[in-house]
Amino acid sequence: MDARLDYFADPTAAKTFKHFMAVGRALKDSVLPGATQELVALRVSQINGCAVCLDMHTKDAAAAGESPVRLHLVAAWREATVFTEAERAALEFAEEGTRVADGHGGIGDEVWARAAEHYDTAQLTALTMLVSFMNMVNRLNILSRQPAGDYQPGQFH
């Protein structure tokens, strides 16, 4: 599959992507645990069907030491016993923040409260920003049909 657009060849896109990359780095450096960030990025990308982000985040998570079992079970996190309660709250948060068109109206009060049991305000802010960022990046990749499979761990860091 060939990409419809080469974002790095277009001057406007290249200029914009510098800012996107800065946002991504700021989120990576946030107080939200790195493993949680990768799990959330994977779940959002699974829901949206973004192959590029699935490729990137599975490889980055594996390179950071995440277990194959946990990576394979992200899609079925509710039935899996390998995630902490905090991670489960973050994954639920990510799902509701991604499926806004399904009538959720965003993050429900109960889901927010479950996440707030495990994450402080700074971490909740980072989680909210991460879910929003991943949804945006997923759409950029999907709309332009960016191909997946060639990503090398740490390539964009």
- H or E segment at 30? none
The reply to whether 83 falls in a domain is yes
| Number of domains making up the chain | 1
User: pLDDT class for 123, splitting at 50, 70, 90?
Assistant: very high
Q: What is the pTM of this model?
A: 0.92
Quick one: what percent of the chain has pLDDT higher than 70?
A: 98
The reply to whether 19 falls in a domain is no
Q: What is the CATH number of the domain that holds 112?
A: 1.20.1290.10
- Mean pLDDT within 100-109: 82
The reply to whether 155 falls in a domain is no
Domain hosting 134: range is 33-143
The reply to whether 5 falls in a domain is no
The reply to whether 127 falls in a domain is yes
- Region for residue 33 given its phi and psi (left: phi exceeds 0; alpha: psi -120 to 50; beta: otherwise): beta
The reply to whether 16 falls in a domain is no
Q: Token match 């599975």: residue?
A: 58
Residues near 48 by Cβ (< 8 Å), separated by ≥ 6? 98, 135, 138, 139, 142
